[in-house]
Amino acid sequence: MSRKVHSSEVYQAVMNKLTERGVPLEAIADIVYEMQVPYKADLRKEVCMESVLAVLEKRELQHAILVGVELDTLAEKNILSEPLLSIVKADEGLFGCDETLALGSVFGYGSIALTTFGYLDKQKIGIIKSLDNEGGEHCHTFLDDIVCAIAAAAAGRLAHRIRDEDEEVDGS
């Protein structure tokens, strides 16, 4: 019989995986800050972190993180079957499944999240660049795109919050 997985177990697994894979949430919040500070000069890092934590509670993103990290980890252990193993380990530019998995998880966050994802995927700022450059026994084929997705979702969410707050201040 299949086991029913509780949401808290999934959330905890996501947090553990990100830590194990060397992705501090602060590094994602830094990217969110960089994406949104041009639109709000007094933006605080804590607000960016709140947004990161909020998007990490969403199942679409949680599941993409678990699938992506699992595939990277299996590739590192050489236990994917060929030819997928070699494709994932080589992080082939035309593979595309890493971007598709990550992109699919931000659909719920609107156009700002989607365009931010595309920007981050190309520009690879902050920890995304470090993950992309780290070779050797590490495989981050999925993880770099997953981090783009978390940052893009958090930035998209924040952009809408900032607008709502501005309207409250204006009384409009």
The site for Mg ion (CB under 5 A) is made up of 98, 141, 144-145
How far is residue 120's CA from residue 114's CA, in Å, rounded to a whole number? 10
- Cβ atoms of 148 and 119 within 8 Å: the answer is no
Q: Which is nearer to Mg ion, 54 or 85 (CB)?
A: 85
CB of 98 to Mg ion, least distance (A): 4
Q: Which is nearer to Mg ion, 36 or 141 (CB)?
A: 141
Q: Which is nearer to Mg ion, 30 or 98 (CB)?
A: 98
Q: Which is nearer to Mg ion, 11 or 22 (CB)?
A: 22
CB of 170 to Mg ion, least distance (A): 41
CB of 142 to Mg ion, least distance (A): 6
Widest Cα–Cα separation across the chain = 60
CB of 165 to Mg ion, least distance (A): 34
CB of 102 to Mg ion, least distance (A): 8
Give me the residue whose beta carbon is nearest to Mg ion.
Answer: 98
Q: Which is nearer to Mg ion, 37 or 84 (CB)?
A: 84
